[in-house]
């Protein structure tokens, strides 16, 4: 394990900036991923499985499958711990796709084992593994897709986006094989992602400015719809892991059904705008938050950049709504990193350098 850093640039910063090139490398595995997808396409039911960051990837995959098939094929996602203890009756008609960067996540490996034992087709998406022993947990899966090198930082970044790239390729092929494709071929749009992320990295100064404005607040809320809901949840998780403040990711409409009663000027609000039908509801939420004197920001594609009541607007490159899962993520990752620097904490450590948290971690394993 490399020695942990104590100042900028931390490992997570380098991981954020490495993502375009790493995604290009994953897209280069197209033939391998399509072989897995051809087998998955023969099945009647697809379940995406993960926990933590990998659960958010599974949620994005579920949303993508719905969008790319025009709602004609219903895949679903499962949190691996819940799946193990409240199982689904898998069988030969199932494909189970498990996402676990380390290939050692206890609940996810057990879910993979259960699916295999039930006769389901199994695909596992992991980071790069160093040798035979490191792959013990995933040995026996029908297909094994490896994405990028293992993360050093506690808050995973590049492993999430590279897993998304693998999932996007797989889903695109499955939908084509099942003759359910709705709209333009998703693979052609996906090939633009590395350059879109390079462009989105130019928002780093804007992310630093936003961090300076909200770093002293004890709470941040992020909302979005469709795949952007999972993106909001993933960003909130990173802020918790790297900045140690309360953060929540909400679905656009759901934030109004209870959570808004707790919302006030003690926290800041970030809305994710994709150019889709749900954006108008998001605009209403930003206006409502203004009445509460909340600091507000919007991360938006150019086509949605109008009538946004926010003190700061971060405009990402224009992209199809489903690809917002990539382009929204870069400014959110940079915001998280900048918040950690503003708050004087390490975004790499997950507080494991603090004796109480180190002691607490001895009572569990992932």
**Sign of the CA dihedral running 121, 48, 328, 10:** negative
**pLDDT at site 66:** 93
What does each C-alpha distance from 295 to 70, 232, 335 come to in angstroms? 37, 17, 14
Q: What is the pTM of this model?
A: 0.96
pLDDT along the chain (366 residues), means of 10: 92 98 96 97 97 98 94 94 98 98 96 98 95 76 97 97 98 94 81 97 98 97 97 98 97 96 95 97 98 97 97 96 94 98 96 91 89
Do 160 and 234 meet the contact criterion of CB atoms below 8 Å apart? yes
**pLDDT at site 188:** 85
On the question of a cis peptide bond just before residue 15, with omega within 30 degrees of 0, the verdict is no
Neighbours of 319 (CB within 10 A): 23
Domains of the chain: 11-191 (3.40.50.10490), 198-343 (3.40.50.10490)
268 Cα distance to chain centroid: 21
**pLDDT at site 82:** 98
**pLDDT at site 231:** 98
**pLDDT at site 133:** 56
């Amino acid at each position: 394990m490399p020695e942990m850093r104590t100042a900028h640039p931390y490992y997570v910063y380098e991981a954020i900036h490495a993502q375009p090139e790493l995604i290009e490398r994953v897209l280069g595995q197209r033939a391998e991923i399509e072989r897995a997808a051809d087998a998955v396409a023969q099945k009647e039911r697809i379940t995406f499985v993960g926990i933590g960051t990998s659960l958010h990837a599974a949620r994005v995959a579920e949303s993508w499958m719905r969008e790319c098939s025009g709602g004609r094929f219903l895949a679903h996602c499962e949190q691996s711990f819940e799946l193990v203890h409240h199982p689904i009756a898998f069988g030969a008609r199932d494909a189970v796709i498990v996402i676990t960067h380390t290939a050692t996540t206890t609940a996810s490996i057990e879910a993979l084992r259960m699916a295999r034992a039930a006769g389901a087709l199994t695909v596992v998406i992991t980071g790069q593994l160093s040798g035979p022993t490191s792959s013990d947990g995933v040995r026996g899966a029908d297909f094994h897709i490896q994405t990028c090198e293992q993360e050093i930082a506690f808050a995973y970044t590049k492993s999430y986006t590279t897993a998304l790239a693998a999932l996007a390729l797989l889903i695109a092929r499955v939908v084509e094989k099942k003759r359910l494709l709705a709209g333009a071929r998703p693979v052609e749009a996906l090939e633009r992602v590395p350059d879109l992320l390079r462009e989105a990295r130019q928002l780093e100064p804007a992310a630093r400015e936003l961090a300076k404005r909200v770093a002293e607040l004890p709470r941040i809320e992020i909302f979005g719809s469709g795949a952007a809901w999972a993106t909001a949840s993933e960003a909130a998780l990173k802020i918790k892991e790297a900045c140690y403040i309360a953060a929540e990711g909400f679905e656009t409409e759901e934030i109004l059904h209870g959570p808004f009663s707790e919302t006030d000027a003690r926290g800041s609000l970030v809305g994710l705008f994709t150019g889709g039908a749900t954006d108008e509801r998001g605009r209403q939420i930003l206006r409502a938050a203004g009445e509460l004197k909340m600091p507000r920001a919007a991360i938006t594609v150019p086509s949605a950049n109008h009538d946004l009541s926010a003190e700061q607007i971060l405009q990402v490159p224009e992209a199809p709504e489903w690809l917002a899962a990539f382009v929204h993520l870069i400014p959110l990752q940079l915001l998280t990193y900048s918040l950690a620097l503003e708050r004087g904490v390490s975004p790499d450590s997950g507080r494991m350098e603090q004796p109480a948290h180190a002691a607490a971690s001895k009572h569990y394993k992932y």
